[in-house]
Amino acid sequence: MGIIWESFTYIFKDRDWIKKLFKGGVIGIIPFLNISLIGYMIEFMNSIYWDKNKKLPEFNIINQFITGLKILIIFSIYFSVIFTLFLILFIIIFAIFLAIFNLNDDILDVFIIISLMASILLLQVALPHYTYTNRISSLYDFYTLYKILEKTWFSILIFDIIYFIVALIALVLISIIAETSSIFSLVAIWLMGAFFYYSFIAFGYSHGNIYLQGIGKPIPEAKTVNTSKVDTSKPIYKRKVEVLESTNTIPDFPRELLEKYIPLQKLGEGGFGKVFKVKRKGGTLPLAIKVPNLEERAKKYLLKEINAWKNLNHPNIVKFYDAFIEPIPHIEMEYIGGYKLNGKTVKDLDKYPKPTNPEEAIKLIKGIAEGLKHAHNKDIIHRDIKPSNILLTENLTPKITDWGLAKIGAKSTTATTTKGLTLLYSAPEQIDEEEYGKTDKRTDIYQLGLIFYELLTGKLPYEGNTPTQVSLKIVNPSKKPTPPSKIDPKLSIFDGIFEKLLAKRKENRYQSIEEFLEALNSIEDIIKEKEKFKDTLTKTTQILKTSTDKREIKKLTKNLIETTAKLALNCARVNDKVGLLDTLELLKDYAKSEESKKELEGAISHIEYLIKEGLPIGGDTIERLEVLLNRIKREGD
């Protein structure tokens, strides 16, 4: 009875109850807009489930309206289905009784009323159950709903009776006020809206708390369960069922979850937690669950921080199903089978062989970038992009996982991480916020650059024997990554892109994923151009050696100069200094005037200096090159 009494008085415990009641009353009298109060109730019920303070939420009419409309649609359909099922069931019973006892047809009305009442009672369990699980499928888990209802039906019935009496008194008083005068009739309208708002708070508080008394699945009467060891004094969702060791083929799979899942395989383990392949009891499809190692202070952040993951739906993002605090914190997500390579299954990018060829590296990075672009467009940042968080499908499609877990990890650090992050894949601002500012979308871009660098070179730009050494290199502004061309000359075309991807300061990086993808597409085009240029150069050189036709020689020479000049400019635009240097050296033989030769020599010296100092090609350099190359082309006419 304590919960029922509190449900009717809870609003008056809120510090701003007068302000909220007034605003709720205004919203309550506006047709259609008052649907937002349903969303308000759902938000309140969630605070009952996950927030010990159980505060009344603030008004967020748009978001609460969307939630309320969604709930209204789902439960309108649900109620129609349930009522129809009950009615069919009772009509069958009625037909049997009619045939046996020759009852009066009027009893059918009784069965209709019983069907309606049964549907309303079930609805009052289904709503908090759906709010708790956030799965539509949970509405049709009738066995679980029945077991919850078995424990809570009396409390719900008492609440309904008291609410009916309170509502009747309130309506009589409002009617009396409305008939007093025209001014009081306006007050009565507001009072009606206020009572509407008050009702949602009362229902939310009572049904949320009553639900918590009966939540959970019943203990199955199977050989795997030793019921003599079950503490029946505790609510079902807190009971720790003793399961025989023989039923768990994976020794370190949490016992607390054996009642809910069938463990199939251990997928991995890290400082942050363990991942298992499982099947739900009664389910058919495999899924993955992550069981994070969280300190008490970090548990409350779990649902809050990864809630955004639910809104992400993209081929390059692992699907998030649900998250739970009880009986232990765990996360349900899409199971990714891995990529078959040389007879072995590679689950993630961490285990994928490196270095890989540029074409494959670009394909993988483009997939990850597309997933990040989808998230960034929804203002969601990952902050922990690293190879072990990039899962691989059977066709080598990369999928990003663990959205929001970096922030939770900051509340529960381990020896191998700092602020919940792996140091080797941390951006400068994640280590020294005071110097480099706060994390944002450009943090993900930096971490994407680290993965790209490792895929191409097989190494990370900053390595060390201790975490301190790594940290100092990452935040040191004078310490720059080794250009990929120094590791493998064939990678010279990528030098420029990493100067921006791995810039220490965020303002010097690519400012968006779209900008990075544009640069990556340009590099792909240049790679194709280079291949085409090599073929053109080889064929033209062979023809020039054998041809005696002056007209043909002039035409081929002109074509060669134009192709070389075009390639040079494209290399300059993507900051491919080595590629630019090679093409400028080729053009030395075709510069006819002394002025062009002198400027070309100066340009080559300048590019050599930029390579030595690790500086990018500036816009003014590209403009001067364009003028010079156009002059050389004209001289070849």
- The mean predicted confidence, pLDDT, of the chain is 82
Q: What is the pLDDT of residue 436?
A: 92
Residue 306 lies in a domain: no
Residue 335 lies in a domain: no
Give yes or no for a contact between 111 and 91, defined as CB atoms under 8 angstroms apart: yes
Q: Residue 23 sits in which domain range?
A: 2-214
Q: How many domains does the chain fold into?
A: 4
Q: Which of 81-95, 206-220, 358-372 has the lowest mean pLDDT?
A: 206-220
Which of 190, 214, 238 is the C-terminal boundary of a domain? 214
Per-residue pLDDT for 395 more than 80? Answer: yes
Residue 629 lies in a domain: yes
Query: Residue 451 and residue 461: Cα distance in Å, rounded?
Result: 10
Q: Residue 163: CB partners within 8 Å, gap ≥ 6?
A: 8, 199, 202, 203
48 and 139 in a single domain? The answer is yes
Of the two residues 396 and 485, the one the predictor is more confident about is: 396
Which of 515, 548, 579 is the C-terminal boundary of a domain? 515
435 and 358 in a single domain? The answer is yes
Residue 521 lies in a domain: no
**Category of 423 on φ-ψ map: left (φ > 0), alpha (ψ -120 to 50) or beta:** alpha
- Average pLDDT of span 114-124: 86
491 and 554 in a single domain? The answer is no
State the pTM of this model: 0.55
496 and 419 in a single domain? The answer is yes
Helix (H) and strand (E) counts in the chain: 22, 11
Q: pLDDT (tens digit, 9 = 90+) per residue, 408-449?
A: 544 444 444 444 457 889 999 999 989 999 999 999 999 999
- Average pLDDT of span 549-566: 82
CA 378-288-336 angle, to 5 degrees, is 75
- Average pLDDT of span 571-577: 80
CATH of the domain at 454: 1.10.510.10
Query: Residue 279 and residue 295: Cα distance in Å, rounded?
Result: 27
Residue 543 lies in a domain: yes
Query: Residue 245 and residue 250: Cα distance in Å, rounded?
Result: 9
Q: Which of 115-129, 212-226, 277-291, 567-581 has the lowest mean pLDDT?
A: 212-226
Active site residues: 384
| Token pair of 39 as six digits | 């969303």
Q: What is the pLDDT of residue 233?
A: 40
- Average pLDDT of span 629-634: 88
Q: Is-cis flag, bond preceding 355, omega within 30?
A: yes
539 and 500 in a single domain? The answer is no
Query: Residue 82 and residue 126: Cα distance in Å, rounded?
Result: 11
Per-residue pLDDT for 165 more than 80? Answer: yes
Which of 196, 214, 232 is the C-terminal boundary of a domain? 214
210 and 230 in a single domain? The answer is no
| Residue that has been written with the tokens 């009916």 in this structure | 164
447 and 593 in a single domain? The answer is no
Query: Residue 508 and residue 60: Cα distance in Å, rounded?
Result: 37
206 and 226 in a single domain? The answer is no
134 and 61 in a single domain? The answer is yes
Residue 522 lies in a domain: no
Q: Which of 88-92, 186-190, 198-202, 378-382 has the lowest mean pLDDT?
A: 88-92
Give yes or no for a contact between 121 and 156, defined as CB atoms under 8 angstroms apart: yes
Q: pLDDT (tens digit, 9 = 90+) per residue, 594-623?
A: 888 999 999 999 999 988 877 778 888 999
416 and 509 in a single domain? The answer is yes
Residue 410 lies in a domain: yes
Per-residue pLDDT for 237 more than 50? Answer: no
30 and 152 in a single domain? The answer is yes
Residue 271 lies in a domain: no
597 and 576 in a single domain? The answer is yes
